[in-house]
Structure 1
Amino acid sequence: MTTLVLASASPRRRELLAQIGVDCQVSPADIDETPQAGESPQDYVCRMAREKAAAVAAAQAADVAVLAADTTVVIDDDVLGKPGDRFDALAMLARLSGRTHQVMSAVCLCRGQRREEIVVTTEVTFASLDRELCEAYLATDEPWDKAGAYGIQGLGAVLVDAINGSYSNVVGLPLAETWRLLRDFGIASGLGGGDE
């Protein structure tokens, strides 16, 4: 049976994999996540996923598979990462208010010399947010470790009017596409995970 290592500290990604029956070990990648000048949002998330996978794979045996992902919020072709402070988070929520943005995830799976990656984009439309609601949301612990300063799977669901595309992608890992990637590597089979 192939060992799968998730190159992420995100409990949400591990929970999503468990939801589809895929067991994994966790080994977070420690990389510089600063966007490069002139880098498109898609190039950025792909580079982040590749670099996370490579960093963790370097410490693993050749037969170990490493799964890495990066998710970002994109509006007006700008990448919104995790908020640095309260003012940063308020500015992000104000910018997203009443508008449609994209949540883009890149997923990279590698084992030995083989590497495959996918990119999935979901459109998310926010309700119009007033200052009181934004302040109340920022008073919770939820926004601070999430791109765009919100989490759709928690209290942040009240900020969202509609989504078009993969819900699990907005949470942090597009499940259907990730499962197909794992299946192609022989890591997931049937419905769920594990080798036959």
Structure 2
Amino acid sequence: MSNSPKQRLILASSSPRRQELIQSLGLPYIIRVSDADETVEEKISPAELVEVLSVRKASTVLEMLEASEKEGIIIGSDTVVVYQDEVLGKPVDEQDSFRMLKALQGSTHQVYSGVACVDAATGKQVVSHRVTHVKMKSMSDAQILRYIATGEPKDKAGSYAIQGIGATIVESIEGDYFTVVGLPLSLLSDLLVNFEIQVL
């Protein structure tokens, strides 16, 4: 299959993890960081939230592109951690990290990841999401503090990264691992079919 401009992916994310994942698909891609406003005033479900923000990130990048660049599929993605109906975003400080990790330890929470694909040329868009259940180990306060001291929780939804040393505090998952990392590749490959892009 030839790599026409139509098949180029435009990842609307500064996340190194998402960049690694998009690279693994073996399709040509470029990075365009989205500076989309991630505040949502109205009360919506976690599923709606990640879909709204994924579309917003992709649409923001679409507006940023020069006319000559408008070829390819823009991919926006957003991830939130949900525990007992509370959406846990990125921690504001180490105290906030401790609060989240203390709440999550020894119990099961949900991770929602949305994916939006927008055709840069036509504006056609598709969006969906996946949810994965994650069970955390029980941890002592000292263990939580040592994990925070690694710096890993700082910019992560729910204050942990399953693909880093945070893997050691996860007991089990039910669902798609890559949903927890932040870009469900199986879902993305399904969405790309709408734009006649076959990963395999």
**Aligned-partner residue type, residue 134 of structure 1:** I
CA displacement at 1:183 relative to structure 2: 3.0
- Give the stretch that moved more between structures: 177-186 or 167-176: 177-186
Which sections of structure 2, spanning at least 5 residues, go unmatched? none
1:124 alignment counterpart = 134
Give the direction of change, closer, same or farther, for the CA distance of 1:95–1:49 in structure 2 (3 Å limit). same
**Aligned-partner residue type, residue 183 of structure 1:** V
Give the direction of change, closer, same or farther, for the CA distance of 1:189–1:86 in structure 2 (3 Å limit). closer
CA deviations 1:73-95 (Å, max 9, x no partner) are 01111110111101000000011
Query: Does the aligned pair in 1 maintain the 2:25–2:199 contact within 8 Å?
Result: no
Q: 1:75 & 1:130 partners in 2: Cα distance? A: 19
1:185 alignment counterpart = 195
2:81 alignment counterpart = 73
| 2:15 pairs with 1:5 | no
Q: 1:130 & 1:22 partners in 2: Cα distance? A: 44
- Pick from 166, 173, 188 the counterpart of residue 183 of structure 2: 173
Matches within 5 A, 1:98-117: 98-111=106-119, 112-117=122-127
CA displacement at 1:58 relative to structure 2: 1.5
CA displacement at 1:72 relative to structure 2: 0.7
**Aligned-partner residue type, residue 130 of structure 1:** S
Structure 1 vs Structure 2 CA RMSD = 1.3
Q: 1:35 & 1:80 partners in 2: Cα distance? A: 14
Q: 2:199 & 2:164 partners in 1: Cα distance? A: 30
CA deviations 1:15-58 (Å, max 9, x no partner) are 01112223311111112212324222122111110110110011
**Aligned-partner residue type, residue 40 of structure 1:** S
Q: Percent identity among equivalent residues?
A: 40
Q: 1:189 & 1:16 partners in 2: Cα distance? A: 13
CA deviations 1:101-132 (Å, max 9, x no partner) are 00001100011231001110000000111101
Q: 1:183 & 1:37 partners in 2: Cα distance? A: 32
Query: Does the aligned pair in 2 maintain the 1:41–1:78 contact within 8 Å?
Result: no
- Give the stretch that moved more between structures: 150-159 or 42-51: 42-51
**Aligned-partner residue type, residue 140 of structure 2:** D
1:30 alignment counterpart = 35
Q: Normalized against structure 2, the TM-score is what?
A: 0.90
1:52 alignment counterpart = 57
